[in-house]
Amino acid sequence: MTEKATFGAGCFWGVEATFRQLPGVTATAVGYEGGHTLNPTYRDVCSHGTGHAEVVQIEFDPAEISYERLLTVFWENHDPTTLNRQGPDVGDQYRSAIFYHSPEQKATAEKSKVEWNASGKFRRPIVTDIVPTETFYHAEDYHQQYLEKRGLATCHL
């Protein structure tokens, strides 16, 4: 039986590509979560008026990969200390966020955040939001597996 995990870590193209390659991840989808507009489009989200974050929703088999491992990949593959920014991408849709699907995920994410904050890996405090999952809106089809469709490994130079 699979479980879901949802992460916002900047531009969803690269985040999705990172998680898709992990053994135990059975499916990924990019989309929008955490805002107040119903059925937002990419254009809506980029206008900064919806409050949504670009996110990746992951289905995973906990017998093959743990939620803790997914959190490690999340922390290692973006800068959780920058508010509403990842590299050159600036805006509230690029915020660092964990949308938990259960009380267990919440507790695990909060513990992980404390541990990573204390680890010394980051020079500034982690600003990642840890909030309950809300409505996940699938992004437009052309965003799904965007880099894979174009034969790219990453969208960063």
Token couple for 154: 């990453």
**Which tens digit of pLDDT belongs to each residue from 64-118?**
999 999 999 999 999 999 999 988 889 899 999 999 999 999 999 999 999 999 9
Give the pLDDT score at 9: 94
**Which tens digit of pLDDT belongs to each residue from 27-58?**
999 999 999 999 999 999 999 899 999 999 99
Give the pLDDT score at 45: 93
User: At 139, is the pLDDT very low, low, confident or very high (cuts 50, 70, 90)?
Assistant: confident
Helix (H, G, I), strand (E, B) or coil at 55: strand
Give the pLDDT score at 154: 59
Give the pLDDT score at 71: 98
Give the residue extent of every domain in the chain. 3-149
C-beta separation of 13 from 146 below 8 A: yes
C-beta separation of 154 from 17 below 8 A: yes
Instruction: Decide if pLDDT at 6 tops 90.
Output: yes
Round to whole Å and give the CA distance between 91 and 27: 27
User: At 156, is the pLDDT very low, low, confident or very high (cuts 50, 70, 90)?
Assistant: low
Burial class of residue 89, CB neighbours in 10 A (0-12, 13-18, 19+): middle
Taking the domain 3-149, which CATH number applies?
3.30.1060.10
Q: Which residues are catalytic?
A: 11
Output the CA torsion sign for 105, 133, 65, 14: negative
Phi-psi domain of 87 (left: phi exceeds 0; alpha: psi -120 through 50; beta: other)? left
Token couple for 110: 């909060």
Give the pLDDT score at 157: 36
Give the pLDDT score at 58: 97
Beta-carbon count within 10 A of 27 CB: 12
Average pLDDT over residues 149-156: 59
Helix (H, G, I), strand (E, B) or coil at 56: strand
Output the CA torsion sign for 40, 46, 48, 49: negative
Report CA 61 to chain centroid distance, whole Å: 18
Tell me which residue has tokens 């490690």: 72
Give the pLDDT score at 115: 97
